[in-house]
Structure 1
Amino acid sequence: MCNKNIQERHRYIVLIFTFMAILSSIVFKASLFYAFTISIIFSTCVFVKNGFSITELLVMVKNSLLDCRQLLTLILLIGALIPVWFSSGVIPTIMYYGFKYMQHMNILFTIFILTSAVAVFIGSAFATISTIGIASLGLAKAFGIPDYIILGVIVSGAFLADKMSPISGLVNLTLTTVKTSYKNMLSSMVKILFPAYLIAGSVYFYIGQRYSLGSNSSNINRYTTAIKKSFVISPLFLLIPAVIFIVSFLGVKIVNSLSLGLVASVILSMTVQKTSIWGVVMEITTGYVGNTKYEYLNKVLTGGGITSMVEVLLIMGGAISLNSIFQGTGLIKPIVDKVISTIKSKEELVIKTCAISGMSTIACDQTVGIILPGQLLRHKYEELGVENRILARTISDTGTVIAPLVPWNVNSLLILAVTGISTIKYAPYALLCYILPIVTILVTCICKVKKAG
């Protein structure tokens, strides 16, 4: 990070301008790419005035984009995978057996539990949403459950991956930054996670009662019959997502595991479902469009495609570039240092950790929301006699899980690209993502933070 001195008023001007640009894009329903581009140009002018060269700023942007090339590849891979999962019969098979065996279950509650379990095992929120999440959306929409409600449920469960999965990159980044063990963090995490998870699950169970599948037996028969007539259905097709989950859990990079799933799905689509090579190419490029004899089924079996990811790639490139110059110039650090210097009590320390981690994620991304408070506050925790595992827990309960609630965050943009549903619509139902920070603050205010955590 560069140590050039940026005038304090310029720091606030840049942050306010960026916030207003993003807010304007949301209000006027313009692409966030424009907001990020304008903010980058404005910020660059301010930073140059404060002693940074154009070359320095371009190097910051270039290095960040290179560091994120795997993520950008993942976006294109997901765009290619989803339509092939439709045409190969993988998603129709999941829907078919879901209709048959979830008839008398509370579907919202069941999907919440199932998504949570898969997320912890697979270690990636995005991979969870783009696999089991897509299938769950199709299942729920077929029974009249609003897609934004079910997506909120899916997001709630999926982001347990980033919060607590032992194979999550963000979890391991938190442990490394804070200097604690997974066992210690997990033991401290339970007292916050258990009540928050119980509250979210109870609300989902209550809401889910109005969408009972058991009362839709005629719809169930109609959809299962239509799927059976339109696709070859076999429980063996479920091996493809199962293998993706297993190899990801075993430590294989998500790009490699999804590539394996894509190849297997293409072969399945061409050999079993009799899709032509040109048909598969077009699906991967432009997305899958349901072409069965049943119009109501076609509306559910539609989505994906690389072209649908182009705008997201542009927005993400803008977000990464803006974040890189914010980090590289040290824009936020002095503001955080000023906040830290006034901390006097253990309770205030935890609450301000929530604020710093959350605001860092909102302004930049999850990585900054972990590294910034982790590095800057670790010694303050030691000074006040609070164990580092509480710092790790607090970061994971705030900055890590609120990412999908921020419309311009990379996670939200990915979710939008995969599902076509905006953050503003699903966020009210992503209960766990904001119940966790609330419970963390309440527990801190009610109970004194003990040294042993």
Structure 2
Amino acid sequence: MKNKEITLAKQATATILFIVIVVGCLMVPTLVGAPQYKQTVESAMFFAAVVVSLYIMLFTNKTWTDIFKSATKSIQDAVPGMLIMLVIGPLVAGFIMSGLIPMMIYYGILLIHPVLIYAMSLLLCIVFSVFTGMSWGSIATIGIVMMGVGSAIGANLGIVAGAVISGAYFGDKISPISASTNVTAMACKVDLYDHVGSMVWTTGPSTVIALVVYVICGFVYPPVNSNINTPEIVALLNDLSGMFNFNVFLLIPLVIVLYGSIRKKPAIPVLIIAVAVSFLLTGIFQDFRLDQILTAFNSGFKLNMVSWYEYSQPVPGEIYILSYFERGGFWNFGNVVVIIITILFSVGVLKTINAIPATMGSIFRKCNSRSSVIVASVFTGFMLIATTANGSACSFLEYEIWGAKYDQFHIDRRVLSRTAEDTGTLLEIFMPWTPAGIFVVTTLGVPVSQFGIWTIVNWITPFVAIFLGLTGIGTYKKLSECKLAEQAANG
């Protein structure tokens, strides 16, 4: 029937209805002074998907069977990426329990020079987040250490916080074991290592610029004194060396992961090998029992597994740094997988009538070149993270909006996947209403107004992405032309 035809007006209505419900669930309760009714992004999206499903069944020719097939197909396509995430959890536990992460933090702190406090904050957080794949974990561990060091020597805490966040997010993006990196590669249907390599084009220059600025800041805004032997740092170093045995062989799992990344080996086998080697090294060099190793594999490392050393206990009113080592395990990303499934279900519902691409296509219908499509996708990412407050949702929606358009203009999907992270992931911390914004301010104790301008990697990267989009540098244009020529030759 004619009144059941899928039109642009109905596609736009479904999209707007979805956005209004999600934004309403996320922001209205806070605005009216009832934050207890605020919903999580995934629950808001699921509720919106249910309402939109009813709309689609009532006003289009699509049935519930069509909607369900579209939603489950969306989830099915992401299964490989979710399997990678299930391997990452044990890998993080192995990195900690083997002593690799504690060793890197231990020697990293010893290298700190007061004048280079800002640059070292960047570099140490890069190292930590690359090894663990966790931006938040880096901020909450080595980031807190650096804030403590900065406070003790009278450094500018806004700059320290900005350097910590910049390093944590750069390392997280480049790490092949990062949850957000895996989710984005999965969302945009890009090989994990190709996605990581593509991000070097944007976050690489931003990080170099940041490092130069932080080195200069060490002389322009020098610390008041040079004492880094605070009781908190000394206690942390003693705890790490007392709990773990350090040696160069602990670097082997890291070398395996880096080798697999450079050589573009299949991610899952590489990570599984690294997991096995990590726990093997744990059994050889550390004092944990076999049952504790098996427990850590499933549910992560716990401090109470250490029985041979009396480590520092929590002090009321102070952040307990050692507690942040209690993570990893097979179920570490269990809640993330559930969130992804919910987001994919929501995206799949909208995909039933091609709602989002059609709506955004009408808005950006004048984008008729490679550069305009890339730049428009950057601005779209900013709008998506501002409204959804969820980097994973941003990645999936970016693909739904721009995937076909990128293919139409023969733009490599690696450009789209990195754009999703350059905006959706990196800009989230500047928005106080997002989980990342709240986490950073709460954890580091510095408001956005103080660290914002100094979080150089996060805010410069989108500008680098726009520059590359306008110039064509780093957009794999020649590679795309070769693919077109090959397709033409093959008829």
The TM-score with structure 2 as length reference comes to: 0.66
Shift of 1:103: 4.5
Shift of 1:234: 1.0
**2:464 corresponds to 1:436:** no
Q: Quick one: structure 1 residues 397 and 242, their matched pair in 2 at CA, closer, same or farther if it must change by over 3 Å?
A: closer
Q: Quick one: structure 1 residues 33 and 277, their matched pair in 2 at CA, closer, same or farther if it must change by over 3 Å?
A: farther
Match of 2:311 among 266, 288, 294: 294
Match of 1:335 among 359, 362, 387: 359
User: Structure 1 vs Structure 2: percent identity of aligned residues?
Assistant: 13
Taking the aligned partners of 2:142 and 2:45, their CA distance within structure 1 comes to 36
Match in the other structure for 1:402: 423
Match in the other structure for 2:167: 153
Taking the aligned partners of 1:207 and 1:172, their CA distance within structure 2 comes to 38
Higher mean displacement: 61-70 or 212-221: 212-221
**In 2, are the aligned partners of 1:138 and 1:300 still within 8 Å (CA)?**
yes
Aligned length: 412
User: Deviations along 1:47-66, whole A, 9 cap, x unmatched?
Assistant: 22222211122222222222
**In 2, are the aligned partners of 1:64 and 1:324 still within 8 Å (CA)?**
yes
Taking the aligned partners of 2:338 and 2:326, their CA distance within structure 1 comes to 23
Q: Quick one: structure 1 residues 213 and 63, their matched pair in 2 at CA, closer, same or farther if it must change by over 3 Å?
A: farther
**In 1, are the aligned partners of 2:184 and 2:396 still within 8 Å (CA)?**
yes
Aligned-residue CA RMSD (Å): 4.9
Match of 1:317 among 317, 336, 341: 341
Match in the other structure for 1:87: 97
User: Deviations along 1:232-278, whole A, 9 cap, x unmatched?
Assistant: 11122122212211122211233322222221122222332131222
Taking the aligned partners of 2:250 and 2:108, their CA distance within structure 1 comes to 14
**In 2, are the aligned partners of 1:360 and 1:372 still within 8 Å (CA)?**
no
Taking the aligned partners of 1:325 and 1:437, their CA distance within structure 2 comes to 30
Match in the other structure for 2:248: 235
**2:289 corresponds to 1:276:** yes
Amino acid at match of 1:130: G
Q: Quick one: structure 1 residues 255 and 171, their matched pair in 2 at CA, closer, same or farther if it must change by over 3 Å?
A: closer
Q: Quick one: structure 1 residues 350 and 304, their matched pair in 2 at CA, closer, same or farther if it must change by over 3 Å?
A: closer
Taking the aligned partners of 1:40 and 1:101, their CA distance within structure 2 comes to 51
Higher mean displacement: 349-358 or 151-160: 349-358
Amino acid at match of 1:83: A
Taking the aligned partners of 1:309 and 1:378, their CA distance within structure 2 comes to 32
Q: Quick one: structure 1 residues 130 and 207, their matched pair in 2 at CA, closer, same or farther if it must change by over 3 Å?
A: farther
Q: Quick one: structure 1 residues 91 and 60, their matched pair in 2 at CA, closer, same or farther if it must change by over 3 Å?
A: same
Match of 1:35 among 30, 35, 44: 44
**In 1, are the aligned partners of 2:86 and 2:333 still within 8 Å (CA)?**
yes
Taking the aligned partners of 1:301 and 1:94, their CA distance within structure 2 comes to 13
Match in the other structure for 1:123: none
**In 1, are the aligned partners of 2:26 and 2:44 still within 8 Å (CA)?**
yes
**In 1, are the aligned partners of 2:108 and 2:124 still within 8 Å (CA)?**
no
Match in the other structure for 2:261: 248
Match in the other structure for 2:142: 139
Amino acid at match of 2:16: Y
Partner SS, residue 217 of structure 1: coil
Shift of 1:168: 9.7
Match in the other structure for 1:58: 68
Partner SS, residue 233 of structure 1: coil
Q: Quick one: structure 1 residues 98 and 199, their matched pair in 2 at CA, closer, same or farther if it must change by over 3 Å?
A: closer
**In 2, are the aligned partners of 1:10 and 1:46 still within 8 Å (CA)?**
yes
Q: Quick one: structure 1 residues 110 and 171, their matched pair in 2 at CA, closer, same or farther if it must change by over 3 Å?
A: farther
Shift of 1:95: 1.9
Q: Quick one: structure 1 residues 320 and 222, their matched pair in 2 at CA, closer, same or farther if it must change by over 3 Å?
A: same
**In 2, are the aligned partners of 1:289 and 1:298 still within 8 Å (CA)?**
no
Amino acid at match of 2:170: S
Shift of 1:326: 2.5
**2:75 corresponds to 1:71:** no
Match in the other structure for 1:5: 7
Match in the other structure for 2:402: 373
Higher mean displacement: 150-159 or 359-368: 359-368
Shift of 1:346: 10
Match in the other structure for 2:151: none
Shift of 1:331: 0.8
Q: Quick one: structure 1 residues 371 and 433, their matched pair in 2 at CA, closer, same or farther if it must change by over 3 Å?
A: farther
Match of 1:46 among 55, 67, 79: 55
Match in the other structure for 2:152: none
Partner SS, residue 159 of structure 1: helix
Partner SS, residue 78 of structure 1: helix
**In 1, are the aligned partners of 2:344 and 2:396 still within 8 Å (CA)?**
no
Amino acid at match of 2:363: V
Match in the other structure for 2:22: 18
Partner SS, residue 295 of structure 1: coil
Higher mean displacement: 57-66 or 23-32: 23-32
Higher mean displacement: 35-44 or 211-220: 211-220
**In 2, are the aligned partners of 1:270 and 1:277 still within 8 Å (CA)?**
yes
Taking the aligned partners of 2:183 and 2:41, their CA distance within structure 1 comes to 27
**In 1, are the aligned partners of 2:94 and 2:278 still within 8 Å (CA)?**
yes
Q: Quick one: structure 1 residues 100 and 40, their matched pair in 2 at CA, closer, same or farther if it must change by over 3 Å?
A: same
User: Deviations along 1:169-221, whole A, 9 cap, x unmatched?
Assistant: 97999999xxxxx99x999x68x974x44554456557777789952135554
Taking the aligned partners of 1:423 and 1:301, their CA distance within structure 2 comes to 21
Amino acid at match of 1:216: I
Q: Quick one: structure 1 residues 238 and 134, their matched pair in 2 at CA, closer, same or farther if it must change by over 3 Å?
A: farther
Q: Quick one: structure 1 residues 435 and 246, their matched pair in 2 at CA, closer, same or farther if it must change by over 3 Å?
A: same
Q: Quick one: structure 1 residues 139 and 276, their matched pair in 2 at CA, closer, same or farther if it must change by over 3 Å?
A: same
Partner SS, residue 321 of structure 1: helix
Match of 1:106 among 99, 112, 116: 116
Amino acid at match of 1:401: D
Amino acid at match of 1:243: I
Higher mean displacement: 341-350 or 70-79: 341-350
Q: Quick one: structure 1 residues 236 and 135, their matched pair in 2 at CA, closer, same or farther if it must change by over 3 Å?
A: farther
User: Deviations along 1:86-134, whole A, 9 cap, x unmatched?
Assistant: 2221222112222333455735534545776x89xxxxxx965527985
Shift of 1:39: 1.9
Shift of 1:290: 2.1
Q: Quick one: structure 1 residues 111 and 256, their matched pair in 2 at CA, closer, same or farther if it must change by over 3 Å?
A: farther
Match of 2:227 among 211, 215, 219: 215
**In 2, are the aligned partners of 1:285 and 1:306 still within 8 Å (CA)?**
yes
Shift of 1:406: 7.2
Shift of 1:329: 2.5
